[in-house]
């Protein structure tokens, strides 16, 4: 396919040939396809209409047979010999033999399988001791004075009471049939009977009994063949097709002329069953089936309708159909002729198009060869052509264009060489300037960060230097005087004991605040010598210290400590940083919150410590200010915890960052170095300011 497509796209001749032949190759299949679909639809619809008509004829014939049997019974019941014999019996005379003769005559002439004379109780009119015959709703209808006929299903016992031979006739082994509903049944021993009741009247118009007749449909080949000959008369079907009629009891063929196999048409498909699709629609839903269907071993154009018994229930199906294969074969023969016609027309069109295209495209192909040589660098021209048409004029203009292009190409190449040298020189200059600019930006960023940190330290140093000593002395005086006052008052001070203790607590709070300020402004006074420590152990020791706060709020702590690198620092100071982060996280979470502490190796530089909570989070507007001194959103907080932590980490060369989302929690990232460079210059600056 790819080679064919490449061949078409590589030549103008083939393109125009494809353009000419495309409508033929497109329209002809479309026409054939439409003809196929239309003829298939029309033919199929005609077949369905025919089989539907066949079913209507079979239905009418089936009903007419009941009426015919009813008419024959009515003639006997109304005949003078029968009525005379019945009247004699009613008057007490022994005329049973006359009645039996009339019954035998009726049974033979009408082709009935049984004839009975029953009294009003359903017993034998000639012998009232013989009762137990099948009750029929038809008796109730006949008791109203009108004859009644209909389809009834007799069990094997019902048939045996009438005639044991009939019970043997209906015994039918079931044959496993493709597409049928799976069933555990192995035999069918019920009988479908065309049942007729005719009321017998006395001279006074009273009903004294019933003349009952019945025809057993099971295995009654004369009955079903008569229907078939009526529906499918000679010449109504295609040659080699087979028209069939079937009577079903439930889904079992009890009377049919459908052959079990086409090779043995004399062997009827008794005991086979209908497919599940047909059974569900006809017996299950009560609808007619007008469609193709799989019948025993072949596909038939089929029509099914339910058979309704005297109780109004669907007890079987009436089927008409004929073989589909002969119609399909005829249809496919016509389609083959149409395809051969299409192939012949297509071949003629292709030959004509190829012959015409050859004379038209020969000059054009010569031009194409020259163009390909020119593309490979050869300096060729088309020259004079034999023709004097538009193609020859195009070739002359094309040669002139090639000459102009050659001259312009020489000029462009010279200018391009000069421009390439200039561009290369400017590019090198820009690359060098870009590198220098990036280095200056990085340096400026680092310098700005250092200045910001030092400005914070300088500001807090100036603040604490001016107020630390002034506040500590008054607080000491207040504490001393409060102790003396409470001792002097003794029991008299009990009423104000709570207020006094509150004053003392607040004074201690002032002193703690001053200590934090001094620690932040003079970190060197609180730092010991830098040692190598295990950050995982610092985490475990810190959790012991804050265990009470975590337990009060039922905070679940998850430790994921995987760092195995020793870092340099002060364990007490790092513990203070971790306590501040854990306490802040605890305050931000509701009871039952979750705190995650992770440690990981940080490349070859140190350790990354992560503290994550699922608390209320921090608003993005205030996130940049959380490390500023005295900035807090916590009730009763001093605003120095994160500031002190920031100063401690900066001294040891560490870094701290935070990511937070409101209502989702916060995550603090702390980077600690293996060999920190203590910021002695920063300490000196802070001490000088303080």
3-state SS string for 477-539: HHHHHHHHHHHHHHHHHHHHHHHHHHHHHHHHHHHHHHHHHHHHHCHHHCCCCCEEECHHHHH
**Separation CA 580–CA 2 (nearest Å):** 72
Please give the average per-residue pLDDT across 473-499, as a whole number.
81
Residue 299, helix vs strand vs coil: strand
Give the residue among 304, 318, 303 at the shortest CA–CA distance from 47. Answer: 303
pLDDT of 681 reads: 42
Cβ neighbours around 619 below 10 Å, total: 11
| Residue 554 to residue 330: CA distance in whole angstroms | 88
Among 193, 189, 191, 188, smallest CA distance to 271 is for: 188
Q: What is the pLDDT of residue 183?
A: 87
Q: Which residue has the tokens 């303080």?
A: 690
Checking if the pLDDT of 90 tops 90, the result is no
Q: Once rounded to an integer, what is the mean pLDDT over residues 582-611?
A: 92
Q: Is the pLDDT of residue 67 over 70?
A: yes
pLDDT for the residue 682: 40
* Residues whose CB is less than 8 angstroms from the CB of residue 311 and which lie 6 or more positions away in sequence, other chains included: 137
Strand 243-249 and strand 252-256: pairing?
antiparallel
Q: Compute the distance between CA of residue 514 and CA of residue 464 in angstroms, rounded to an integer.
A: 8
pLDDT at 389 over 80: no
Q: What is the pTM of this model?
A: 0.48
* Residue 30 phi, psi dihedral angles, 5° rounding: -65, -40
- Position 171 confidence tier, pLDDT thresholds 50, 70, 90: very high
Nearest to 562 by CA among 532, 581, 536: 536
Least confident window among 24-38, 140-154, 640-654: 24-38
The secondary structure of residue 184, as a DSSP letter, is S
Residues with Cβ within 8 Å of residue 326, at least 6 apart in sequence: 237, 238, 239, 240, 241
Query: What pLDDT score was predicted for residue 361?
Result: 65
* Residue 103: predicted pLDDT: 85
Looking up tokens 């020791």 gives 541
What does the pLDDT read at residue 683?
43
Report strand pairing: 264-268 vs 567-569: unpaired
Query: What average pLDDT score do residues 683-687 get?
Result: 37
Q: Which residue has the higher pLDDT, 220 or 455?
A: 220
Q: Are 298 and 200 in contact (CB under 8 A)?
A: no
Distance CA 278, CA 582 (A): 76
User: Facing residues of 559 across strands?
Assistant: 597
Q: What CATH architecture is 527-689?
A: 2-Layer Sandwich (3.30)
Please state, in angstroms and rounded to a whole number, the distance separating the CA atoms of residues 85 and 126.
11
Are the C-beta atoms of 198 and 103 separated by less than 8 Å? no
| HSE, side-chain direction, 13 A CA sphere, residue 28 | 16
CA 472 to chain centre: 75
Beta pairing partners, 275: 180
Q: Take residue 170 and report the two structure tokens written for it.
A: 């209906």
> Would you call 546 helix, strand, or coil by DSSP?
coil
Strands 556-561 and 594-602: parallel
pLDDT of 236 > 80? The answer is no
User: What whole-number distance in Å separates Cα of residue 123 and Cα of residue 133?
Assistant: 7
Cβ contact 61:227 at 8 Å: yes
User: Could you give the CA distance from residue 640 to residue 630 in angstroms, rounded to a whole number?
Assistant: 6
- As beta bridge partners, residue 201 has 207
Q: How far apart are CA 326 and CA 337, in angstroms?
A: 17
- Six token digits for residue 441: 């930006």
Residues 293, 271: Cα–Cα separation, whole Å: 18
CATH 3.30.450.20-classified regions of the chain: 50-340
CA gap 118, 211 in Å, rounded: 7
- As a residue count, the chain comes to 690
Question: b/e per residue, 105-131, with b = 16+ CB within 10 A?
Answer: ebeeebebbbbbbbeeebbbbbeeeee
DSSP code at position 624: G
CA atoms of 260 and 297, how far apart (whole Å): 7
**Token pair of 569, please?**
């620092």
pLDDT at 127 over 80: no
Q: In the predicted model, what is the mean pLDDT of residues 275-299?
A: 89
Q: How many CA atoms lie within 13 A of 337 on its CB side?
A: 5
Q: Hey, which of 108-117, 248-257, 400-409, 542-551 has the most confident mean pLDDT?
A: 248-257
Percent of the chain with pLDDT over 70: 79
Within 10 A of 325 (CB to CB), how many other CB atoms are there? Answer: 15
For the stretch 575-579, contacts whose Cβ atoms lie closer than 8 Å and that sit 24 or more positions apart, written own/partner, are 575/538, 575/541, 575/542, 575/545, 576/644, 576/645, 576/648, 577/645, 577/648, 577/649, 577/670, 578/538, 578/539, 578/542, 578/609, 578/611, 579/542, 579/545, 579/546
127 φ/ψ angles, rounded to the nearest 5 degrees = -150, 95
Distance between CA 201 and CA 199 in Å, rounded?
6
CATH 3.40.50.300 fits 50-340, yes or no: no
In this model, does residue 679 exceed pLDDT 60?
Answer: no
In this predicted structure, what is the pLDDT of residue 603? 86
Query: What angle do helix axes 680-689 and 641-651 make, rounded to 10 degrees?
Result: 130
* Beta carbons within 8 Å of 594's beta carbon, 6+ residues apart: 555, 556, 558, 613, 614
Residue 574, pLDDT above cutoff 50: yes
* pLDDT score at 518: 62
| Range ranked top by mean pLDDT from 246-260, 337-351, 512-526 | 246-260
Q: Residue 429's CB: how many other CB atoms inside 10 A?
A: 9
Judge whether residue 688 has pLDDT over 60.
Answer: no
Pseudo-torsion of CA 39, 41, 42, 44, nearest 10°? 110
Phi, psi of 292 (to 5 degrees): -75, 150
pLDDT above 50 for 540: yes
Question: Can you read off the two tokens belonging to residue 15?
Answer: 């393109």
Helix pair angle (641-651, 390-489), 10° resolution: 110
pLDDT band at 636 (very low <50, low <70, confident <90, very high): low
Say how far apart CA 372 and CA 47 lie, in whole Å. Answer: 64
> Which residues of the chain does CATH 3.30.565.10 include?
527-689
Q: Give the single-character DSSP code of 134.
A: P
pLDDT of residue 152: 94
- By the 8 A CB rule, do 165 and 172 touch? no
CA-based nearest residue to 546, from 595, 474, 500: 595
How many CB atoms sit inside 10 A of residue 158's CB?
A: 20
**Chain mean pLDDT for the chain:** 81
Structure tokens at 369: 């060869």
Query: DSSP assignment, residue 625?
Result: G
């Amino acid at each position: 396919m790819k080679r064919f497509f490449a061949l078409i796209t590589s030549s103008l001749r083939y393109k125009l040939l494809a353009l000419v032949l495309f409508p033929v190759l497109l329209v002809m299949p479309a026409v054939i396809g439409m003809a196929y679909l239309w003829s298939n639809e029309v033919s199929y619809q005609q077949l369905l209409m025919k089989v539907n008509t066949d079913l209507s004829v079979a239905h009418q014939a089936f009903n007419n047979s009941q009426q015919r049997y009813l008419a024959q019974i009515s003639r006997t019941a109304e005949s003078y010999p029968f009525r005379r014999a019945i009247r004699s019996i009613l008057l007490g005379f022994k005329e049973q033999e006359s009645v039996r003769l009339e019954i035998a005559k009726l049974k033979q002439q009408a082709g009935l399988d049984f004839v009975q004379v029953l009294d009003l109780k359903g017993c034998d009119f000639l012998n009232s001791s013989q009762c137990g015959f099948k009750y029929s709703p038809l008796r109730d209808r006949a008791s109203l004075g009108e004859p009644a006929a209909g389809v009834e299903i007799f069990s094997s016992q019902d048939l045996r009471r009438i005639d044991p031979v009939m019970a043997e006739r209906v015994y039918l082994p079931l044959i496993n049939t493709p597409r049928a509903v799976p069933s555990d049944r192995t035999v069918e021993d019920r009988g479908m009977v065309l049942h007729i009741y005719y009321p017998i009247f006395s001279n006074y118009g009273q009903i004294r009994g019933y003349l009952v007749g019945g025809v057993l449909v099971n295995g009654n080949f004369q009955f079903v063949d008569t229907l078939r000959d009526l529906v499918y008369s000679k010449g109504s079907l295609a040659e080699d097709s087979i028209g069939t009629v079937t009577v079903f009891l439930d889904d079992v063929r009890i009377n049919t002329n459908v052959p079990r196999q086409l090779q043995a048409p004399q062997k009827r498909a008794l005991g086979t069953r209908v497919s599940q699709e047909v059974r569900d629609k006809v017996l299950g839903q009560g609808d007619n089936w007008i469609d193709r269907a799989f019948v025993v071993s072949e596909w038939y154009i089929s029509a099914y309708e339910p058979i309704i018994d005297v109780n109004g229930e669907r007890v079987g199906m009436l089927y008409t159909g004929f073989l589909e294969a002969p119609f399909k074969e005829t249809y496919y023969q016509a389609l083959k002729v149409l395809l051969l016609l299409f192939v012949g027309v297509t071949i003629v069109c292709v030959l004509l198009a190829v012959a015409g295209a050859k004379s038209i495209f020969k000059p054009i192909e010569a031009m194409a060869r020259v163009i390909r040589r020119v593309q490979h660098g050869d300096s060729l021209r088309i020259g004079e052509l034999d023709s004097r048409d538009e193609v020859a004029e195009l070739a002359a203009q094309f040669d002139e264009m090639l000459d102009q292009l050659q001259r312009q190409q020489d000029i462009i190449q010279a200018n391009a060489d000069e421009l390439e040298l200039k561009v290369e020189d400017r590019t090198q200059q820009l690359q060098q300037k870009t590198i220098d600019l990036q280095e200056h930006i990085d340096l400026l960023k680092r310098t700005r960060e250092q200045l910001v940190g030092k400005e914070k330290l300088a500001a807090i140093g100036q603040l604490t230097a001016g107020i630390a000593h002034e506040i500590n002395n008054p607080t000491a005086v207040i504490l001393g005087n409060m102790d003396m006052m409470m001792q002097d008052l003794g029991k008299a001070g009990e009423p104000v004991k709570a207020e006094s203790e509150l004053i003392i607590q607040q004074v201690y709070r002032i002193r703690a605040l001053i200590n934090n300020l001094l620690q932040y402004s003079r970190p060197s006074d609180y730092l010991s010598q830098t040692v190598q420590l295990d950050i995982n152990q610092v985490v475990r020791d810190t959790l012991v210290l804050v265990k009470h706060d975590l337990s009060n709020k039922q905070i679940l702590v998850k430790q994921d400590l995987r760092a195995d690198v020793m870092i340099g620092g002060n364990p007490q100071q790092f513990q203070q940083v971790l306590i501040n982060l854990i306490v802040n996280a605890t305050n931000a979470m509701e009871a039952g919150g979750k705190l995650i502490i992770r440690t990981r190796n940080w490349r070859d530089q140190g350790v990354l410590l992560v503290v994550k909570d699922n608390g209320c989070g921090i608003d993005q507007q205030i996130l940049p200010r959380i490390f500023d001194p005295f900035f807090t959103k916590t009730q009763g907080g001093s605003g120095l915890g994160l500031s002190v932590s920031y100063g401690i980490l900066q001294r040891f060369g560490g870094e701290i960052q935070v990511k937070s989302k409101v209502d989702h929690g916060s995550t603090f990232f702390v980077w600690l170095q293996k060999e920190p460079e203590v910021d002695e210059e920063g300490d000196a600056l802070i001490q000088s300011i303080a």
